Chains A and B, each alone.
Chain A
Amino acid sequence: MNEKLITFTLENGLTLLIREIHTAPIVSCWVWYGIGSRNEVPGKTGLSHWVEHMQFKGTSQRSASWMDHAIARLGGHWNAFTSADWTTYFETLPASALETALALEADRMRGSLFDPDEVETERTVILSEREGLENDPLFLLNQAVQLRAFREHPYRNEVIGAKEDLLALTRDDLFGHYRNYYQPANALLCLVGDIDPQQALSLTQRYFGNIQSQPIHKNIPAPEEEPPTFERVDLRGPGDATFVEIAWRAPKGNSEDFFAFTILESLLTGPSSLNMFGGGGISNRTSRLYLALVEKELAVSVNGSLNASTDPGTFTINLTKHPARSVCKLLSALDNEIEKIQSKPVAQAEIDRAVKQAKALFAYSSDNITNHGFWMGYANSFADYSWFTSYVERLAAVTPEMVADTARKYLRPDARVVGVYTPNGKEL
């Protein structure tokens, strides 16, 4: 596999990354915009996600159905995702059809219509998407915990937006957001797969080269480094299972602490892949918290979640309580385990094992061209591509002392939010 990455910046500021992989006659084209819910202001939450939906509704050159059918007819697949830090669009399709993807992405970078009738239709679609999420107690719990894990930083908001904002946003709000942020100078184009780099560069120049960048008014929030003050939030709702979510401050992706934190997460709750497209996970039956909480029958399941984010984010642990145990006992056992990892350095063999697991997860997600496109852009959203290529090596450099230091620094009992979802009719 050719690991070489070709980087090029057009005069209008568009950055292009190309990586050749010739294992299958496929290419994946990704456009990453530096805009997400992190850049939204109170009262206007959900703008970035809604704009992403409108990008599938057609341009003056191409109708919505033309775009949709052009990709599908090729057997390709396309989609988009909005996160707190970025919005990204991708097409994976036969290598000979790269030009179709580039022409489409260049067109909708500036030419989407935002037809007022379509905006109204999409309002109900997004409200329906939100209603689907609200059916899940874990969404409601996460929403309540994140709101308290940050005082002001927009990471406190759900990417989909608050219901009242979704009801109030206007076509002008959406179009203004789109015109401000969807510009070559705020975008990264990643091309990966069975590609001729010269041809790809020439096509990129042809389709994107004439798009002018205007000044961008970017709302950049101040990072909230300080941890949350201890708070417990209780929710009630239908069901029979009690869920607990605990959130601590976590280091940003592009920091030294992040790698020690990744090992810490792996030891506590099991290894997890940062890749959106998985490639398969590794179970966590021998993680410290599984052994201490599930094996000891205090919980039925335990999972951890750590994201590589632009600003300091959260590390969360989700627990499903054992029906015969109390939340109090569960949290006490959790605290004991965290205290152990804070007070006594872990064995080097545990770190070596976590590194091997990370290496395996990388291998699993690397047999898929679409995943490579994801990694190229994702790593650049908070660092650069070398973050991806040096990931396993940097994990291997983590020492037992670094793990204990990181646990002491971040996983403080007085600096976390504890959320509990208790079924109606059951004791808190």
Chain B
Amino acid sequence: MTALLFSNATLPGSDDITRQEFANGSVMLTRPNNSSPAVAIRGYLPPGSAAEAPEKYGLANFMTSMLMAGTSRHAFRELHDEIESMGASLSIGAGGLATSFAGQCLREDLSHFLKIIREVFSEPSFPAKQFQRIKTQLLTVLAIQAQDTAAMADQAFDRAIYREHPYAIPDLGFPQTLQLITREDLAAFHQRYLGPAGLVVAISGGIQPQEALDAFNETLGAWKNINQQPQPELPPVEPLRGITREHIMLAEKSQTDLVMGTFAPKTTGPDYLPAQLGNEILGQFGMMGRIGESVREKAGLAYYAQSELGVGLGPTTWQIVAGVNPKNLEKAIELIRGELSRFTSELVTEEELADVRSAVVGRLPLSLESNAGVASALLNLERYQYSLDYIRELPARLTAVTREDILRAAQTYWQLENMVIASAGVALDD
């Protein structure tokens, strides 16, 4: 097994994580950090943008943006005054499958802060004045995004790879669909889908488990929405056939952003850990792995060039992203394809495997040193239905991954003749 440079007992496990299910369908996990004066909260609950109707794309994100625009008890300014006066912060956003939220506060304010979070979720008033203002803000965000080469390349990639699947649609929707959304749509969507069934909250920081449980029990644990419906099941994705090339033309841009990719293995499936270690070798380890070495270090073509393995409950992707001068775009694609060819035809070396295994294990205490890092890790234990000792067991699981496992995963998911290549920048012949 990979030699550990730290004691496994310092990682979160069943002896220091408290997990509690509540009658309303919610789950809370907590782990204390006695040295901290603050508390981090991470959570998710239904719905996500996958529950939207096509003519109302952007509805889930618009609804979550409006949750903090005012409640039946507090107008916009009063609500934010409550939060900001505590020195607390709360952000809420919609993803494909769920609404996620992140917050933090000083430990003495936790009970009050959870009360505010419950109010925001359960009693939004969707005030008319804020509705128009936030719609304008969202339209402005879309306008800014339309000039962002990285965002546009990402969107082109998602459209090409997911096609008819809901994940092909950007979470923010489109200007024309946002314009059609009414306050009534937001209220109906909220009432139908947002509720405690499926709510998971992780709390980490200077608070004892019983105090956290009590505070949760009185607030989010007592929340009810009798109208809550399950959101629609996600359809399957269609496998890739052939190479799809997309380019979004944006004038007067110095850099072109590139996204190349395919579908990733299921996060909870047996191929995931081999793919994770393989991805480290391909485009993460050290200065962006083999891809970084080839495209940035040797050829000097890009400031960044790396691979990214998706994680999530729905279908995810395995991508290579790079930012290059427009005249170097084709050369960068060629170099990346060369690395992919090697990755899918040769075993990684023993040294490479030992390096990345050691890196992934060694990174654990660093990723878990902050309250936010611990809260995010606890949330993932619940999201993927891992045991409470999963993090402590991870080093042994990674040790069991072989070079052959990695090659098998590489060959299963990367096929040079089946992939999406998307870019955004000046016209290709410029």
Contact = CB atoms under 8 A, between A and B. Distances in A.
A157 interface: no
A241 B7 CA distance: 52
A92 interface: yes
A357 B81 CA distance: 12
Give the contact-size bracket for chain B: 35 or more
A26 B365 contact: yes
Given A134-B255, A238-B251, A280-B104, A25 B6 contact: yes
Nearest to B87: A360
Contacts, number: 208
B7 A76 contact: no
Interface string B105-143: 110000000000000000000000000010011011001
A237 B293 CA distance: 35
Given A286-B84, A363-B106, A367-B369, A128 B362 contact: no
B10 interface: yes
Contact of A73 (B83, B88, B359): B359
Interface in B236-290: 250-255, 285-287
Interface stretch (A7-15, A116-124, A200-208, A337-345): A116-124
A128 B303 contact: yes
B83 A283 contact: yes
Contacts of B368: 24
B176 interface: no
A215 interface: no
A75 B86 contact: no
Interface in A312-340: 320, 322-323
Contacts of B324: 128
A137 interface: yes
B232 interface: no
A228 interface: no
A360 B369 contact: no
A96 B5 contact: yes
B355 interface: yes
Interface in A330-385: 353, 356-357, 359-361, 363-364, 366-369
B77 A128 contact: no
A135 B139 CA distance: 20
B372 interface: yes
B362 A73 contact: yes
A132 B5 contact: no
Contacts of B85: 286, 353, 356
A351 B138 CA distance: 32
Interface in B318-365: 323-325, 354-355, 358-365
Given A239-B144, A241-B144, A73 B358 contact: yes
Interface stretch (A64-72, A80-88, A245-253): A64-72
A274 interface: no
Interface residues of A, number: 76
A280 B251 CA distance: 35
With a 10 A CB-CB cut-off, give which of B10, B76, B137, B369 has the most chain A CB atoms. Answer: B369
Contact of A1 (B35, B253, B254): B35
Given A135-B253, A360-B86, A363-B106, A76 B362 contact: yes
Nearest to A369: B369
Given A25-B10, A121-B300, A131-B255, A283 B362 contact: no
A135 B255 contact: yes
A299 to B, nearest CB: 10
Contacts of B293: 65
Contacts of A323: 136, 139-140
With a 10 A CB-CB cut-off, give which of A295, A323, A363 has the most chain B CB atoms. Answer: A363
Interface in B1-37: 5-7, 10, 33, 35-37
Nearest to A92: B366
A131 B254 contact: yes
A165 B300 CA distance: 18
B302 interface: yes
A129 B140 CA distance: 26
Interface string A252-289: 00000000000000000011000000011111111000
A366 to B, nearest CB: 8
Contacts of A270: 84
Interface of B: 5-7, 10, 33, 35-38, 40, 76-77, 80-81, 83-89, 102, 104-106, 133, 136-137, 139-140, 143-144, 146-149, 205, 250-255, 285-287, 293, 296-304, 323-325, 354-355, 358-366, 368-372
Given A64-B287, A132-B255, A239-B147, 5 more contacts: A25-B6, A74-B5, A97-B5, A128-B323, A240-B143
5 contacts: A74-B359, A301-B137, A320-B140, A356-B86, A369-B369
Interface of A: 1, 23-26, 56, 64-65, 68-69, 71-77, 92-97, 120-132, 134-137, 237-241, 270-271, 279-286, 291, 294-295, 297, 300-301, 320, 322-323, 353, 356-357, 359-361, 363-364, 366-369
